[in-house]
Amino acid sequence: MKNFGRIFRLRYKYIVITDISALILTVFALKKLPPADPISVFAYLLSSYALATTVINLKPMLRRAKQLVTGDELALVRIIKSKMRAHETTRRWLEEKDFRAEVSLRSGLCMNLFYAVLKWSSGLYYHSAWLISVGVYYLIFALIRFVLLRNDRCSDSSESSRIKAYRSCGIMLFAMNAAMAGMAVQMVVYDRADQYSKTLVILSAAYTFYMFNLAAVNMVKFRKSKNRILTAAKDMSFVGAVMSMFSLQTSMLATFSGDNERYFRRLMNALMGGAVTLTVLIISVMMMIRSARELNALSQDKK
């Protein structure tokens, strides 16, 4: 058993090489080859292995990457840092944690808007109510990020306004999750499996990978933060990641499964949809409860 586990304990550079190779080969297989082709099968197996090794070694890899990026071990890093310190904006990004959090919120907002437009326009093109609803979901998701940015400059706003912004995010997540749950139920009941292009599936996979990486980074970065805006950013990243996984699954099942696999498609969509809906529900309720308690505690302190 120990020898079996060693195949997943690679040196970091080999993990990166495996991930890149699996990504390139899988994209080629999806675009150019049929699913039953031996190269396609090998690409899927390699992707599964790459994902497993990355997940198993993720924590030490992130720790090592942080050491290389934040330390002065690499000459290239030292040169880049010296160049960045020569400009005000990049210097602030290097030295101010709250400024980096604001940049993260802004970049997340831009990515949400891009993905919302992509899904919405794809829904119009394919006449898919599901894709349009996903586009609206991410548009509201972007709105929540905008609320966070508007209510906080990470250092200027009061604690009370941060907690209220955190509560507003929880309320909007709760309402958005209820609407998405209704759409998920319709998809499972009526088995609305529209065919999408492989390019759209690949873009969805790339966005899902980005969201999971962002969620992992924010989980580590803001796990002990008492700033509710940063906590909300962490929660939003995780919610976006799980929702992206659900959206990706529906796209892949619709594109690569046949009419004789309706039961399997319904079962997988029901399981994933239920898990995602429950997860987002718990997160949104906890956000509202936590913010209510903290606002009550602040009002008691003022008395």
3-state secondary structure (DSSP) of residue 235: helix
Q: Which residues contact 77 (CB under 8 A, 6 or more apart)?
A: 68, 69, 71
**For the chain, how long is the longest CA-to-CA vector?**
72
Contact 290, 172 (CB under 8 A): no
Q: What is the pTM of this model?
A: 0.62
Region at 158 (left for phi over 0; alpha for psi -120 to 50; beta for the rest): beta
Mind listing the pLDDT tens digit of every residue in the chain (303 residues)? 455 557 777 777 888 888 888 888 888 887 787 777 888 888 888 888 888 888 888 778 777 777 777 777 667 777 887 887 788 877 887 777 667 767 777 777 787 788 788 878 887 887 777 778 778 877 887 887 777 777 655 445 577 778 888 888 888 888 888 877 877 777 777 665 555 666 777 777 787 877 777 777 777 666 666 777 778 878 887 888 888 888 788 777 777 766 667 777 788 888 888 888 898 899 999 989 988 888 888 877 766
Tokens of 181: 């749950």
Tokens for 30?
A: 């999806």
Calculate the alpha carbon distances from 155 to 100, 101, 150, 212 in Å.
12, 11, 13, 27
CA 209 to chain centre: 7
